[in-house]
Amino acid sequence: MSDLKFLSEPFLDSDQAAAILRIHPKTLQRLARLGNVTGYRIGKLWRFHASDLEAGISFVSALDSSPAQGYALSTTRARN
């Protein structure tokens, strides 16, 4: 059945998928690298299925309700 999804459901690029989740594309790519969102790396590009983003919506909404965890995703550092 999963093979059928690859044939019938088009891939979304990072910008399109991030727009659905209302997050920045780089944040979505980081979530995919960490395994929190299902994504497929094709060369240097990330691709996503809209049906796989449902779990990402749950994860992102959980981060919104718990601001302390949201900071863990940030890669910016304070400058000394």
pLDDT in tens, 48-79: 999 888 877 776 776 666 655 544 555 555 55
Give the span between the Cα atoms of 59 and 36, in whole angstroms: 7
Domain assignment present for 68:
no
Domain assignment present for 28:
yes
Q: How many domains does the chain have?
A: 1
The pLDDT value recorded for residue 27 is 93
Domain assignment present for 65:
no
Please work out, in degrees rounded to the nearest 5, the angle formed at the alpha carbon of residue 59 by the alpha carbons of 63 and 15: 100
The band of 8, judged by pLDDT with boundaries at 50, 70 and 90, is confident
Domain assignment present for 17:
yes
Range of the domain at 20: 6-53
Which H or E run includes 32?
Answer: helix 25-34
pTM of this structure: 0.67
Q: Which residue has the higher pLDDT, 71 or 15?
A: 15
Domain assignment present for 43:
yes
Q: Which residue has the higher pLDDT, 6 or 25?
A: 25
Domain assignment present for 34:
yes
